[in-house]
Amino acid sequence: MQRLLKIITLVFICCGIKIQAQVPVDMWTKMALEIRMNIENSPWEFRLRPDDHIFTPAKYVPSGSLARVDFMVGINFWKFKFFDYSKYDQSGGFWTGPRLDFNFDVMNHKLLINFQEQFFFGLNKQSENHMYFIQYVKYEVTKMTYLGVLSYDKWTIEKAFDKGYWFIGPGIEMIDKSGISIQFAITKDIFHEPLFMTYIKLGYKFMVRDRSKPITIDD
């Protein structure tokens, strides 16, 4: 199985090299670090992205990159998660808005499906209202490894549908028992030719224990 995962990773890399070698393409790279905290016996969830960074050709972002800080406060209810989501970027953009997640699994918990809807309202003049629709389907191939497909969509609310970005492509995710995870995907935009995005997210998840529970000592 480890050999199979190495082959799949090599295929992803080779496909990216081949695409760039055959035709001129625009390549974005999105890299994010996310820290997630849950509280034992509580529906509350907190997420911080101290660095959500995107690198693009200068025609998209004149400086070639744009850094952002995100903060989320959420509550879990059944298969849903409701977040109050705020973010601030280095250009002075400032947004806040709701995020809704719906998660479910099938095939004896092997196939996991996640839907996200995010709406952001600009809090100053340089911040346009926009929304994200993100879908992620992944299949467990080992206890630590998932293969799947990522769909990552962003639209400015005041603009036409096809003026937005809709990236779709294969991905791999590895989750360690310690709470560390890494997600990697190579995606292609269906509206703009030829535009690709490499998506990398490093995560760390931990649980704060409930200290109000009585301590029991077994005889």
CB-CB contact of 154 with 177 (8 Å)? no
Calpha distance 27→167 (Å, rounded): 12
Residue type, 25: V
As a whole number of angstroms, the distance between CA 124 and CA 94 comes to 7
**Residue 200 has what pLDDT?**
97
End-to-end CA distance of the chain: 44
Closest CA to 90 of 118, 60, 70, 120: 70
Digits of tens for pLDDT over the chain (219 positions)? 555 455 455 555 555 544 444 567 899 999 999 999 999 999 999 999 999 999 999 999 999 999 999 999 999 999 999 999 999 999 999 999 999 999 999 999 999 999 999 999 999 999 999 999 999 999 999 999 999 999 999 999 888 888 899 999 999 999 999 999 999 999 999 998 899 999 999 999 999 998 776 655 554
Q: HSE, CB side, 13 Å, CA atoms: give it for residue 111.
A: 4
Cα of 162 vs its chain's centroid, Å: 22
State how beta strands 195-208 and 26-39 pair: parallel
Confirm if 94 and 123 have CB atoms less than 8 A apart. yes
User: How many angstroms separate the CA atoms of 4 and 8, rounded?
Assistant: 6
Token pair recorded at residue 133? 């629709």
Question: Scanning the structure block, which residue is given the tokens 């809807």?
Answer: 117
List domains and CATH numbers for the chain.
Answer: 2-203 (2.40.160.40)
187 contact partners, CB below 8 Å, separation of at least 6: 150, 152, 167, 168, 169, 171, 196, 197, 198, 199
Cα 46 to chain centroid distance, Å, stands at 15
Name the residue among 114, 141, 128, 81 with its Cα closest to residue 201: 114
Amino acid at 57: P
Q: Could you tell me whether strands 65-77 and 145-156 are parallel, antiparallel, or unpaired per DSSP bridges?
A: unpaired
Q: Which amino acid is at 156?
A: T
